[in-house]
Amino acid sequence: MLHHGLTQQALWYAQKCNSCGFCRAVCPLLEEIGPESAAPRGRVFLAGEILAGRMAVTPAVAARLGQCLVCRHCLAICPTGVRVDLVMMAARALIKETVGAERLKVIILKSLASRWQLISAIAALVAPLQGIVGRRVEGGQALRLNWRGMAGRTLPVLKAQPFLKNYRSHNRAHTPKAGRRVAFFAGCFVNFVDPEIGYATVRVLEENGIEVVIPQGQTCCGTPMLAAGQLDLALPAIRKNIDALLAVEAEAIVTSCASCGTSLKEWWGDVLAVEDDAVYLARAREVARKTCDISEFLAERVELKPPPGLKTPLKATYHDPCHLAQGRNIRSQPRALLSKIPGLNLVEMAGADDCCGCGGFFSYDEYPLTRRVNEKKIKNIAATGAEVVLSGCPGCNLQIRDGMNRFQIPGEVWHTVQILDRAYRGV
């Protein structure tokens, strides 16, 4: 379905572009693809033309507008505030209306948006069978088939027991301080693929006397649907999440996925504003006000209990996820936390905030292209000699894990909160 409000807003942003070209210097795809139409300003121009009806949605235009990581490097630098992320959502919504969308992708997006229970049931059934499609490798499984150019790609192992299934009780704090309670928003990746990040988040918060509530009605944050321009799938999920998150009393809503956090903090309000849904817009703004990345919450709102330290000293490097660094400027907080871990030697890599190339579903649509972006990141990681790569985004971690396996770079890839958790537990 086409969304008039979003279209109008995208057209307004397209008119704001003054063609200064600052965005050309930061787009991770421009260098890989080449022509001006692959620059952010080129994409904004194409989007404006098709949305205004001055240009037809040809396969070439659709393909070019599909090639965007929604990494937000361009909007973070844009002097006139062009929201390329929203322009891409509007353009892709029109493309979907005009040329349709891949059936399998729609099924996956629909399931993530509204059928978490079904995915949980399927996960329990298929988890033991995953060896058929992939062989076990460090941090996941490597795809056996050359499907969409993804042969050998490290994919996550679906867990038989999703994160949310392990939490029935709301009150889990061992040493709650009066009035300190947060709600935790897990997101698809933590729930289905890497629940360890969720457990580490809960343990670290509890270690610091914060009660953690895990609202049970939560579902996908909507990022994959929004990035694909499928607002009709995203909006019900967004409203359901808002109801679940505001049903519990909590001083903050904590996320440990950079993209989920950006959705809660910005995109929910953005799309509800253009939908003219005043009731849910007000509620989305309340969610945005309360939402904190776990690194932000621990660094800024908690007097962190000193962790005893790692059992074995480790050399680590930190990758800035685009959805934490670009637009939200969460850079110093994770580093401040890491500096408090005895036994951790943090070395900065070159281009720490360069994109890892993941882009969520973009790495499914255009895996060979995302690999080329990823290669530079992996070279910079390897040059540090770090034993562990840290980041605040499960999606980045997966893309980095894939690159490290491909280039046979030894080492672990963990979420920031996982190493903090290890430092508390002395492992």
Chain residues binding ligand SF4 by CB under 6 A are 17-23, 26-29, 40-41, 43-44, 68-74, 78, 80, 82, 84
Under 8 Å between Cβ of 108 and 101: no
| Min CB(23)–ligand SF4 separation in Å | 3
Closest CB 415 distance from ligand SF4, rounded Å = 23
Output the smallest distance, CB 349 to ligand SF4, in A.
20
In this complex, which beta carbon is closest to ligand SF4, that of residue 40 or of residue 156?
Answer: 40
- 63 contacts: CB under 8 Å, gap ≥ 6: none
Mapped onto helix, strand or coil, the DSSP state of residue 302 is coil
Name the minimum Å distance from CB 171 to ligand SF4.
41
Task: Give me the least distance between CB of 204 and ligand SF4, in Å please.
Answer: 31
Instruction: Between 46 and 221, name the residue whose CB sits nearer to ligand SF4.
Output: 46
State which residue, 28 or 162, has the beta carbon closest to ligand SF4. 28
* Residue 229 backbone phi and psi in degrees, to 5: 75, 20
- The DSSP secondary-structure symbol of 154 reads E
**What would the two tokens of residue 225 be?**
């649907």
Burial of 158 (0-12, 13-18, 19+ CB in 10 A): middle
Q: In 375-409, which positions are buried (b, 16+ CB within 10 angstroms) versus exposed (e)?
A: ebbbebbbebebebbbbbbbbbbbbbbbbbbbeeb
Cα-based distances in Å from 404 to 33, 355, 380, 408: 23, 15, 11, 6
- Report the residue number, 77 or 302, with the smaller CB distance to ligand SF4: 77
**In the β-sheet with 134-137, what is the strand arrangement from edge to edge?**
134-137, 140-143, 154-155
Least distance to ligand SF4, CB of residue 38, Å: 8
Q: Indicate the residue among 67 and 130 with the shorter CB distance to ligand SF4.
A: 67
Q: Which is nearer to ligand SF4, 194 or 366 (CB)?
A: 366
| 340 C-beta neighbours (distance < 10 Å), count | 16
Which is closer to ligand SF4, CB of 96 or CB of 422? Answer: 96
Q: How far is the CB of 394 from ligand SF4 (least distance, A)?
A: 19
Q: Least Å distance between CB 216 and ligand SF4?
A: 34
C-beta closer to ligand SF4: residue 32 or 412: 32
How many angstroms from the chain centroid is the CA of residue 11? 26
Name the token pair of 382.
Answer: 């390897």
Angle made by CA atoms 218, 121, 241, in degrees to the nearest 5: 10
